[in-house]
Chains A and B, each alone.
Chain A
């Protein structure tokens, strides 16, 4: 398998549930990202990992907890979410974390989350 793979593609959860989103990249990239895409709003960067170290955290509520066990895998652990957290969560990877700005991101297909 190639590219960036996200599972599950769709997830429905209650406000008291605990679930996780998984992202896997087979591109040999060193940086991985979580983005949130809500209806009619621009993509919002949530977390960035470079070589398994978190380098950016854009003031995301603690009910979202990322984990990067190695450079190929990225998780987003979800706990006690709110209905307004319903969105498309996109994972992306790039050869390295933006320093020169020359890297192109490869995106996964996304995980559609609905919080009831």
Chain B
């Protein structure tokens, strides 16, 4: 059974810092991995999608990496801003599960 773990559960940083969010998964036979953002009381917004054959994806100040063999992904946020404050969710799609399996998320607070 696929399990996804995100560490830390919560993170607070001053504005301008670069930061890394971690995601690990137990079954390395995945098709892709996605990072989502969720604002309080809102739905999820897809940030980055990494296919299993890729090592990383970039979008603006965000960079996501994937090491499938070790079951790990990181989301790097450069020059953090208060507007980046949200919960970040990692999800993997594995053929065995035939669905996205989500982590519990990392709640990020960027202090002005």
Contacts and interface: CB of A to CB of B under 8 A. Distances in A.
Given A98-B93, A104-B49, A42 B32 contact: no
Contact of A107 (B45, B51, B99): B45
Interface stretch (A12-20, A66-74, A76-84, A108-116): A108-116
Task: Specify the main secondary structure of chain A where it touches its partner.
Answer: loop
Interface of A: 4, 6, 40-43, 45, 48, 56, 58, 88, 90, 92, 98, 100-102, 104-110, 112
B31 A100 contact: yes
A41 B3 CA distance: 12
B71 interface: no
B9 to A, nearest CB: 9
A16 to B, nearest CB: 27
B32 A102 contact: yes
A90 B44 contact: yes
B91 to A, nearest CB: 8
A108 B32 contact: no
Given A41-B104, A42-B4, A48-B99, A102 B44 contact: no
9 contacts: A6-B43, A42-B101, A45-B100, A98-B100, A101-B30, A101-B31, A101-B95, A105-B100, A110-B42
B3 to A, nearest CB: 9
Contacts of B36: 107
B43 A109 contact: yes
B102 interface: yes
Given A56-B98, A90-B44, A43 B89 contact: yes
